[in-house]
Amino acid sequence: MKNIGLIVNPIAGMGGRVGLKGTDGEDILRRAINLGAKPIAPQRAKIMLSSLKKYDLKFTLITAPKLMGEYEAREVGYKPIVIGEISEKTTGEDTRRIAKLMVDFGIDLLVFCGGDGTARDIYSAIDMLIPVIGVPTGVKMHSAVFAVNPVMAASLVADFIRGVLPLRDGEVMDVDESAFRSDKLIVKLYGYLKIPYRYGLVQNAKSPSPQTEDERENQLAIAKYFVESMEKNVLYILGPGTTVKAVADVLNVQKTLLGVDLVFNFKVYDVDVNEEKILKAIKNRTAKIVVSPIGSQGFIFGRGNQQISPEVIRRVGKNNIVVLATHHKLSTIDALRVDTGDPEVDEYLRGYLRVICDYREERIVKVI
């Protein structure tokens, strides 16, 4: 019988919807809470555990105490073995210490719920001693150690228990959050973790757009074509990334590279907005969402743009979502992906979307 460890970072992802681009550091967490941020990791942990329960497999579940795994497991109906102690205000040190205790206990697989910062903590604690599976609950998630969503994480755990999955090395990557909040993307490779792998269930490491003249020309061609279609009295919600920023460049307006910004009647309405500001801005207005998929991953929602929340998507509507992607970016993905945190909205978005990939050139791409 396999021993499966579970560690939940209860604060992972709280900075997303409130526009803080992460929750690393006590000051940032305090700001997130003051802005009304709510924990999302516990709920996504419960989705993974509930999905795993449906497979009706025999295994022993070992969790961190209280809100770092125990509470979620008991709420779903498991009777876990609980090891270690945690601080009143949980920290990365709790994650690292308990991960080491779980390895000493003899777990066969460690499942963790968090983002890139949590992946770094797991890596620093256990290196490549045992395989891991990340349940994506953070903001950035550049690393290639995460399942594409909590349900797929459960499928990976089930196949691992059955002994049918190969292992491979997944990159542990993270950005400098202070630089990220200053609109600078600095990504570093920290190491590798072993992960059970099945194609389509594990996300790739994020790849940045190439800084070439051809790529920039492609982005500007896309932007010019899109700007020609823009309408008066429509609020445009511009997501992060260089391709969407090219739209602002063509309009000659301000745009944050890594934030979400609003344009109305071809002028800046607001910059670096959070979910609350977006919901207020779209009230009684027609709005459109403009996004670009993450290179090599394909996500258009749920990675780095959580300000565009399920509620925002519901109000704007699928028909008012515009996807922009260069030929190079499309060559790195097999589909568009969504992981909004709301299964109903994810299902609503699935199907097909038009993607503008050049001047007067569009492709129909599947959304999964």
- C-alpha distances in Å from residue 229, one per residue of 30, 322, 360: 42, 11, 11
Q: Which of 303, 278, 68 minimizes the C-alpha distance to 175?
A: 303
Q: Residues 172, 192: contact at Cβ < 8 Å?
A: yes
Model pLDDT, residue 36: 74
Q: Which of 363, 309, 368 minimizes the C-alpha distance to 338?
A: 368
Q: Residues 188, 174: contact at Cβ < 8 Å?
A: yes
Q: Residues 233, 286: contact at Cβ < 8 Å?
A: yes
Q: What is the pTM of this model?
A: 0.90
Q: Which residue has the tokens 């941020």?
A: 37
Can you say whether residue 252 is alpha, beta or left, with left for phi > 0 and alpha for psi between -120 and 50 degrees?
left
What is the maximum alpha-carbon separation in the chain?
A: 63
- With the C-alpha atoms ordered 14, 117, 95, 202, is the resulting torsion angle positive or negative? positive
Model pLDDT, residue 207: 82
Model pLDDT, residue 181: 52
Successive 10-residue mean pLDDT values, the chain, 368 residues: 97 81 66 78 97 98 98 98 94 97 98 96 97 93 95 98 96 76 74 97 89 96 98 98 97 95 98 97 97 96 95 98 97 96 96 98 98
